[in-house]
Chains A and B, each alone.
Chain A
Amino acid sequence: MDIYSQIVERIIKQQESIIGPIAIEQAEHVHNLKINWSKHDVAVSGDGSKVIDDLVEKYKELFGKISVEVCKEAAQPFIGHLPAGKLPKSLA
């Protein structure tokens, strides 16, 4: 999995521990994101930063700023591996 897919997988997993299957249902509505959650398979196509921003926005619609904080915390271990200048705005 590429770095964006790993971040997405981590974010969904973290959200799933809070809101259960609704975390996956919300992620399925994100454009350019394909999920097979039974295998924890996540495939990001197109602009990875935009996909992550859209995913974070989906969760923000549910819980507000707290969801953003949860996503930031989940993505933290991967942030250093992102190419320079490619940090999604929502995780900044």
Chain B
Amino acid sequence: MNQKARVGLFKILVLATSSVFVVWWLYINIVLRSPDHNNINNQIFGATYGIISLFGGLAGLVASKKWGGRKSLVGRALMFFAIGLLAQEFGQITYSYYTYVSKIAIPYPSIGDIGYFGSVLFYIYAAWQLAKAAGIKFSFKDRSKKIIATILPLILLTASYLFFLRNYQFDFSSLKASLAVFLDFGYPLGQAGYIAIALMTYLLSKNLLGGIMKKKILFVLFALLIQYIADFTFLNAAKTGSPFPAGANDLMYLIAYTVMALALNSFRVFSIPHKTEESAAGTNSATGEV
């Protein structure tokens, strides 16, 4: 089986698995509609759909190797998006451990936050590497784009602060409480950070970026946007009430993991028609695959 076929097969695996989870989610929320949001169906859904992020993480690591791993900008970007996805899965497994094995309410902060907050940091670093690969530094020659690069992150950080943290009650009474304060700020501001970099990359490089990589990079930026919507949905649910397993937030995360997994998988293969001696004479062409 050649590389292109393997990549295609993986895409089908991700889409088929995600579809099963979407149907299951619809069954839970439309057919069952149990008033007990913590029933076994919801719990098992919440504990298992993260497998998509595991798939995506593994695909991202394979793709990263092809692009030079930590030695190149694209390789590092793919590697850290993949690690971000794996960190999300770590968070999910840890939360499930609290629920099923320890049988306790999920503490905050907890070991799971290493995965969830870690993924935010990994995404920020990965998005920055991708922004550099997409050549945002060449856009800085333009003064108006320099202004966009300065103002956009400030707007997003301020908006996140006002939406999630206005009138925040600080509590530094213990180490645990202080850690909670750090995470309460870290999650929304960190998430605003990676989406700011993604939007900046799009706005600053859309006229310069081209070739066969354009679609792939835009796909990753789109995946980051969906991830941000999922994170926003979750934080908003946490602010206004309590997010529950198999709720709207889990559906959003399922979609976000799926889109990111597909985006990273798309970097495992690309084709450029290379002119052979014959094709230079207008008779033939060969396709190169990586």
Contact = CB atoms under 8 A, between A and B. Distances in A.
B237 interface: no
Contacts, number: 79
A38 interface: no
Interface string B66-83: 111101111100000000
- Interface size range on A against B: 20 to 34
A19 B73 CA distance: 7
Nearest to B129: A18
B43 to A, nearest CB: 42
Interface in A25-67: 25-26, 29, 31, 58, 60-67
Contacts of A64: 208-211, 213-214
B208 A69 contact: yes
Contacts of B73: 17-19
Interface residues of B, number: 29
A66 B290 contact: no
Given A17-B72, A18-B73, A20-B71, A65 B210 contact: yes
Given A19-B133, A20-B68, 19 more contacts: A16-B68, A17-B73, A18-B74, A18-B133, A19-B67, A19-B68, A21-B68, A22-B290, A29-B274, A31-B280, A60-B210, A63-B133, A63-B134, A64-B211, A64-B214, A66-B134, A66-B135, A69-B135, A69-B138
Interface of A: 16-22, 25-26, 29, 31, 58, 60-67, 69-70
Interface of B: 66-69, 71-75, 133-135, 138, 205, 207-214, 272, 274-275, 277, 280, 288, 290
